[in-house]
Chain A
Amino acid sequence: MLRYAARRALAAVPLLAAISFLAFLLNQLAPIEPAVAVLHAQGVPQATEELIAAKRTELGLDRPLPIRYAEWLLSALKLDFGQSYVTGQPVLALLCPALLHTLQLAAVSFAVIVLLSIGLGVFCALREGTRLDQGTRAAAFFLTALPPYLLAAGLVWLLSVKLDLLPTSGLGGPASFVLPAAVLAAGYAGVYFRVIRSSMIAGRHDDSILYGRACGLPERTLTLRMLVQSLRLTVPIFAMAVPILLGSTVVVENVFAWPGLGTMSVKAILSRDYPVIQAFVLLLASAFVLFNAAADIVGAMLDPRLRKEL
């Protein structure tokens, strides 16, 4: 098992290298000269020729590409992503609070997703085919087809304005998490719920359960056993939900003015703040790779048959 884990982790290294190179290239492929982008981003009303030339030297843009990549990578490994073109602050100083806020939001949403999908999944699997089951599934289906921004607008209008229960936007106390987390979780919960439900139903016809029932084990024990079995299959999927959530908060964060990665990245893109965009891409892609490896390793722990893969 340990050997598998080590090999799986090692396999991620060349991937990370390739990703970092792609992220670095972003800056080079841009149609607007970075020096001009910096000057504009800093709000200098007029970029004169001398200013541009000076900026180019200051940013080291006149040196060969491989050297710049090596330098960028080395400092990125030390968590130094350079300075934001716009504010001149270190990118890390922007990234850290944004990441923290997005992590908080993602964590809350993740908890909601897990609770909702397991709870409803088990509930519906036990009532397969009844009206309740069908109704829940229909609702879940509807939620996955609803654009998040529309859901957000509706919820804000109802819960914040009409009922005056929750703040409309921004990061504040626990109450401020409710709406963004609910909107973020809605679509995903609908899907993961179906995963749990169908794997529970599939498990019901599993020999071990049939055997258990024949032996007269109480239904509660059987349900629990079915749940454990279906979780064994779905845990890796849940694990991947974390980086997916981190990368897909863009719309929700913009609608709720949440000071996280999504808001930061859209702002950076609109002002062509390349160091920030690079750090954002690198961070999320790395998270994706690492969680993928972790999901594989956890999956292999839960199901030894998977270990021979690789």
Chain B
Amino acid sequence: MNPHLYPGSMAAQGMIYESLIEKTESGFAPLLAESWEVSDDGLAYTFHLRQGVTFHDGAPFNAEAVKKNIDAVQANAERHAWIKLSAKLKQVTVLDEHTVRLELSEPYAPTLLELSMTRPYVFLSPNDFKDGGTKDGVQGHDGTGPYRLAEQKQDQYAVFEANEDYWAGAPAVKRITAKVLPTGETTLLALQKGEVNFLFTDDRGADSLDVEAMQSLVDTGKYQLLRSKPMNTKLIAANSSRADSPVGERAVREALWHAVDRDTIAGTLLHGTETPAEALFSPNTPYADLDLPKRAYDLKRAAELLEEAGWKQGDGGIRTKAGKPLALQLVYDAASLSQKTEAELIQSAGASIGMKLELVGEPSPSLAARRASGDYDLLFNQTWGLAYDPQSTIASFTAESSYRHTTSGIERAEELYAEIEEAARTTDEAARKQLYRDILKTVHDEAVFIPISHGGVTVVAPSDLDGVAFKQTQFELPFEQMKFR
């Protein structure tokens, strides 16, 4: 639960710790900072902190604490290389008790976004620091958030108690116990028996819910089922850099796009917990409400595309071109039953258009390793979620360890990368909008990210619980707003 490192549950970290600002549907909102100014050259950010806020251990939250925390994160900067801000942040200056200034070495547009994330730029009482820092561990978990960690047993449960001194008023739900449950049917049993009365899924959770059964539970009137807006996109990343594989060819990727039955996946296999995705980002994502051409589930069109590209029907029902069979490898996360089922469905559709898909299930670290080394044709993946989309996901197009191999094989790759860099640097909002439009259009046209469904958070809560809402990330929920009728 060290807020400056990555292990630990994001949901729990979000209850205990807070950032300076928060990303909401309508833009950035004050959290621990009441207001902020950005200098004209985009190099200095001045934050006016909320007054009278204390950490759970009673220590005051002030400019000094902000500086200490950010310095602690920076001391471990190489761990946060994916957050570009960590490389661009030059220094933090305490202007007075409640004012701090962050100075950057060059303008960086997603600064506010990265400061709003659940980690690493959140604040822990300096009394909990170890050797003046946090990279070697912490001595306590005192944040400023609406809940404090009362008790924790690794792999079993954690108890959170309301922070009565919370600056926005004490939360109404006084005590929350988070339990570790086995996946699968036991979750439902636990709900039915009342061992658990509140359940939420992150993007992987849909795997462990028997939604049909859950619905029957809701029908009893004891529970309500709530779904958030789309938070992220499940997709298949196609390795365009593989010139020797059919996947390097745009027509093949487009044909596959047409062969994915999104309605069946979202509606039937996932019981409507997710919605069909027609583009890399759902239209409610910033900069992504673009009218991109839809590639519907259409096996005939898929077959035509292949035919036009010179893939002719060969022996055994598999198309060939210049003696090469139309065979691709699709890698999925072996721990995810839904990915497996989706892969099987897509495989079967592929077979009917003469495309052979070989399924490979592996643990998720292998997937990440393959993504980084480019050792894949097709790979199940997902965008990072509303709090990070589209900026962070787009930034990762260029990163070797992320989607470099996915994007580098397309025709105007160099141009694309230049645009991505420009979009992060520019301080002109209109220009950025145009750049993002171009970028998203390019990857859409090239069909390197084949969207499947938009995931969100599903909550099963007692029917007398009011105020169940969602945040901009699929990993957290605003428990402080909930109360029992």
Contacts and interface: CB of A to CB of B under 8 A. Distances in A.
In the complex, A touching B, CB below 8 Å? yes
B82 interface: yes
Given A161-B189, A168-B193, A169-B186, A259 B7 contact: no
Ranked nearest first, the 3 interchain pairs of A and B with the lowest CB-CB distance are A43-B6, A257-B182, A46-B82
B81 A36 contact: no
B366 interface: yes
Contact of B399 (A36, A46, A271): A46
A168 B156 contact: no
A60 B211 CA distance: 48
Contacts of B399: 46, 48
B401 interface: yes
A49 B7 contact: no
B7 A272 contact: no
A45 B82 contact: yes
Interface in A124-182: 153, 156-157, 160-161, 164, 167-171
Interface string B360-387: 0001111011001000000000001000
13 contacts: A32-B365, A32-B369, A40-B368, A44-B81, A45-B384, A47-B401, A48-B81, A49-B400, A161-B192, A161-B193, A259-B180, A264-B155, A272-B363
B407 interface: no
Contact of B365 (A45, A167, A259, A272): A272
Given A36-B369, A44-B79, A171 B7 contact: no
Interface in B146-161: 153-157
B182 A40 contact: no
A289 to B, nearest CB: 28
B6 A44 contact: yes
Residue among B179, B182, B399 with most chain A CB within 10 A: B182
Interface string B397-424: 0011110000000000000000000000
B396 interface: yes
A88 B135 CA distance: 10
A37 to B, nearest CB: 6
Contacts, number: 108
Nearest to A33: B369
Contact of A46 (B180, B185, B401): B401
A167 B189 CA distance: 9
Interface in A256-278: 256-257, 259, 263-264, 269-272
A161 B368 CA distance: 40
Contacts of B368: 40, 47
A94 B154 contact: yes
B38 interface: no
A212 interface: no
Interface residues on A, range: 35 or more
Interface of A: 32, 36-37, 40-51, 54, 86-88, 94, 97-98, 153, 156-157, 160-161, 164, 167-171, 254-257, 259, 263-264, 269-272
Contacts of A98: 155
A101 to B, nearest CB: 9
Given A45-B384, A48-B399, 4 more contacts: A160-B189, A169-B182, A170-B157, A271-B363
A156 B384 CA distance: 37
B292 interface: no
A156 B195 CA distance: 14
A295 B363 CA distance: 38
B334 to A, nearest CB: 8
Given A46-B396, A161-B192, A164-B193, A257 B186 contact: yes
B120 to A, nearest CB: 11
Contact of B186 (A97, A156, A259): A156
B181 interface: yes
Contacts of A88: 5, 7, 137
Contact of A40 (B5, B82, B369, B396): B369
B96 interface: no
Contact of B7 (A86, A160, A254): A86
Nearest to A49: B400
A48 B396 CA distance: 12
A36 B193 contact: no
A257 B368 CA distance: 26
